[in-house]
Each structure stands twice: as structure tokens, then as C-alpha cells.
Amino acid sequence: MSFSVQIQPAGIEFQVNTDETILEAALRQGIDFPYRCRQGVCTSCVCRLRSGQVRYNPPEPLNDIDKAQNFTYGCLAYPLTDVVLHHPFIRP
């Protein structure tokens, strides 16, 4: 099973398998997705969740401020549904 991830405003769309993070799937498909640490520390991969749901393996990296802003860590997030994300620096 896989889910569709769409990145706005770039209009990029790709598939993520249930056993991989959004970042892993993007890199596997040659998408230039920003990242550095892959641990949810550097925040390079943080996107705003516009629609859909993701899960994290414990511990969840989001604090209350992150949740209020609809932030999603691409390096740690596994989609539970099709997802639309916003990241201003991802280009087609």
C-alpha cells in the first residue's frame, strides 16, 4: 500500500510506501527535498500539513507550538492518508 504526497507550491506529487518516511520516498524518487540530520532536530525538512494525516514512531517530535502551526517533519513522518504539504523551498 502507498499514499500520495503532494508538495505545494511546487506541484510535485509522489508515492510513499507505508514503511518509509516522506523524506525517504522523496529521495528514492529523485526529489530534491531539503534535509540534514534525519532526526527531527535541524528542521530543514519541516513542512506545513495542508491536508491528510501522518504518524510518527515514538517519540513524536512535535510540541504544542508545532502542532498549532500544522508542522510536519518529513524525515520522521509516515503518511496514514494521502497528504498535501507546503514547503516554500522545494522546487520541481
Q: What is the CATH number of the domain that holds 46?
A: 3.10.20.30
Tell me the pLDDT band of 72, cut-offs 50, 70 and 90: very high
The arithmetic mean of pLDDT across residues 64-72, rounded, is: 96
Give me the percent of the chain exceeding a pLDDT of 90: 87
Whether 64 is covered by a domain: the verdict is yes
SS (H, E, C) the chain: CEEEEEEECCCEEEEEECCCCHHHHHHHCCCCCCCCCCCCCCCCCEEEEEECCEEECCCCCCCHHHHHCCEEECCCEEECCCEEEECCCCCC
- What pLDDT, on the 0 to 100 scale, is given for residue 11? 96
Q: Is 91 a domain residue?
A: no
Entry pTM: 0.93
- The reply to whether 92 falls in a domain is no
Q: What percent of the chain has pLDDT over 70?
A: 100
Structural domain of 19: 2-86
